[in-house]
Amino acid sequence: MSDAARPTSTGVPGEVAFGEPLVEVEGLEKHFSNGGGLFDVTLDRSGGGLPRVVREEEVVRAVDGVSFTIRKGETLGLVGESGCGKSTLARTLLNLLEPTGGSVRFKGEEIREMGRRDQRRMRRDVQMIFQDPQSSLDPRMKVGPIVEEPMKAHDMLDADGREDRARDLLEKVGLDPQHYNRYPHEFSGGQRQRINLARALSVNPEFIVCDEPTSALDVSIQAQVLNTMRELQDEFDLTYLFISHDLSVIRHISDRVAVMYLGRVAELADKEELFENPQHPYTQALLGSIPVPDPRARGRRGVVEGDVPSPINPPSGCRFRTRCPELIAPAEYDLGEDEWARVRTFMRAVDDRRFESTDPSSVDAQFFPEGRPDGEAGSHVDEAVTLLAEEAWDAAAALLDERFAERTVCAREVPDYYVETEHGTNDHYAACHLHR
Ligand code: SF4
């Protein structure tokens, strides 16, 4: 079925012509406590006397309050930089990792509360395809028995029936059924991923979680595998959660897209809406970093600056605030837009120690060519410039953080908004205070 024939919006806000909700995720959390001996050491100065050393176990907040619904028949694309929690989310959603909190319902039933029989049925209805097609196939087994394995595990069909179905599935995923007796190493990477697909389909699942399934493949092969997946989705009435760090792949396969950043969803909307009308600065930066085919446009545009912060002690409020080019000015200072933009750049440069010289006149020339801000904000900048002249980098960074970054609404409140949709009628979620 072509894109044009796929289900579309119904015209009712928040509603789509896909089926019933199949997977409902609400406030899902997966925290790992670092019990391996790494501790955060802090000084407790309460109670008078000498400070006491407190050793706190570190908690990695890999997934930290994620909610979305996937409807029957649709593909939800999940995109984000590596390390943002996408794969942990997928494994937690499938109960392969025990959630720390929140809920996941499959066909209306809470996964964690399912009895053994329902769990077994769910393991058949839900399949997963991984990134590396090589390592997920047993090199000592022939392709036919590999495809038959899940059917055997779920007591499906007799031996002849399983072989017939395996040959049939090999053909459906674009392989020669005659290759039933070959070994995985006799196939290319793309073909091996097709074998994985056939194996996942063998038990007639409803929902397939695809974790970077085409990332290890050449670009030309990627498109062929994605097209096959799309065709199979229609033929087998499948629902996909498709995880990738690659926006082009996500654009090719998804109906709706969730953008993930540091354990949380930053934005979620219909594919067209997200690509044509992105409303979160992180999504905008990601889209800007897609390579441009125009040879006159050199390199990449708008690459997100800085590194993803550690999920051990993530930024308060908006997780993206330490890198956000639009960080909102603290309301208590009377700063014009340009003035705040200069302070923000200065603050980030102090954090990253990106200076030509720490001499005050050079700092002014680099960051405040039109003069430092007036008033209270200006006196904080003055203080930071003085500290820099003494090479007290950490003190200057801490001062700017405390006087500016920590005082913004971005640091104080977790953003959670729905914005107006321009393309289609489905909800458009954007976790950014610019939409207050
Ligand atoms: S809430 Fe603030 S820091 Fe976060 S994306 Fe929006 S403007 Fe940027």
User: Could you list the pLDDT tens digit for every one of the 436 residues in the chain?
Assistant: 344 444 444 444 344 557 799 999 999 999 998 754 444 444 444 444 454 554 556 899 999 999 999 999 999 999 998 889 999 999 999 999 999 999 999 999 999 999 999 999 999 999 999 887 677 789 999 999 999 999 999 999 999 999 999 999 999 999 999 999 999 999 999 999 999 999 999 999 999 999 999 988 888 899 999 999 999 999 999 999 999 999 999 999 999 999 999 999 999 999 999 999 999 999 999 998 766 555 444 444 456 777 889 999 999 999 999 999 999 999 999 999 999 999 999 999 999 888 889 999 999 999 999 999 999 999 999 999 999 999 999 999 999 999 999 999 999 999 999 999 999 878 999 999 999 9
Ligand 1: distance of its center to the CA of 414 in Å?
Answer: 10
pTM for the full predicted model: 0.87
Tell me the longest C-alpha to C-alpha distance in the chain.
83
Q: Give, using CA atoms, the residue closest to atom 7 of ligand 1.
A: 327
Predicted local distance difference test score (pLDDT) of residue 1: 37
Atom of ligand 1 nearest to the CA of 319: 4
Ligand 1: distance of its center to the CA of 408 in Å?
Answer: 9
Ligand 1: distance of its center to the CA of 436 in Å?
Answer: 11
Ligand 1: distance of its center to the CA of 323 in Å?
Answer: 9
Atom of ligand 1 nearest to the CA of 324: 8
Q: Ligand 1 in contact with 330 (CB < 6 A)? A: no
Residue environment code for 359-396, b if the CB has 16+ CB neighbours within 10 A, otherwise e: eeeebeeebbeeebbeeebbebbeebbebbbeeeeeeb
Q: Which two three-digit tokens encode residue 284?
A: 């905008």
Beta strands per DSSP E along 189-311: 207-211, 239-244, 256-261, 264-270
Ligand 1: distance of its center to the CA of 364 in Å?
Answer: 27
- Distance between alpha carbon 66 and the CA centroid of its chain, in Å? 10
Ligand 1: distance of its center to the CA of 239 in Å?
Answer: 32
Indicate the top mutation candidate among 328, 347, 408 to test ligand 1's pocket, ranked by most ligand atoms within 8 A of CB: 328
Predicted local distance difference test score (pLDDT) of residue 55: 52
Q: Ligand 1 in contact with 133 (CB < 6 A)? A: no
Ligand 1: distance of its center to the CA of 98 in Å?
Answer: 31
Taking only Cα atoms into account, the Rg of the chain, rounded to an integer number of angstroms, comes to: 26
Question: Cα(434)–Cα(339) distance, rounded to whole angstroms?
Answer: 18
Atom of ligand 1 nearest to the CA of 282: 5
The angle formed by the CA atoms of residues 85, 419 and 11, to the nearest 5 degrees, is 105
Indicate the top mutation candidate among 321, 404, 419 to test ligand 1's pocket, ranked by most ligand atoms within 8 A of CB: 321
DSSP code, position 308: P
Q: Which two three-digit tokens encode residue 331?
A: 């309301």
Going by C-alpha positions, the residue among 34, 73, 101 that lies closest to residue 254 is 73
Going by C-alpha positions, the residue among 328, 331, 365 that lies closest to residue 346 is 365
The DSSP string of 110-137 is: EGGG--HHHHHHHHHHEEEE-S-TTTTS
Predicted local distance difference test score (pLDDT) of residue 131: 81
Predicted local distance difference test score (pLDDT) of residue 291: 61
- Asked if 200 contacts 127 with a C-beta cutoff of 8 angstroms, the reply is yes
Fold for 3-38+54-276, please state it: Rossmann fold (3.40.50)
Predicted local distance difference test score (pLDDT) of residue 83: 87
Neighbours of 244 (CB within 10 A): 26
Going by DSSP bridges, is the β-strand pair 21-33/59-71 parallel, antiparallel, or unpaired? antiparallel
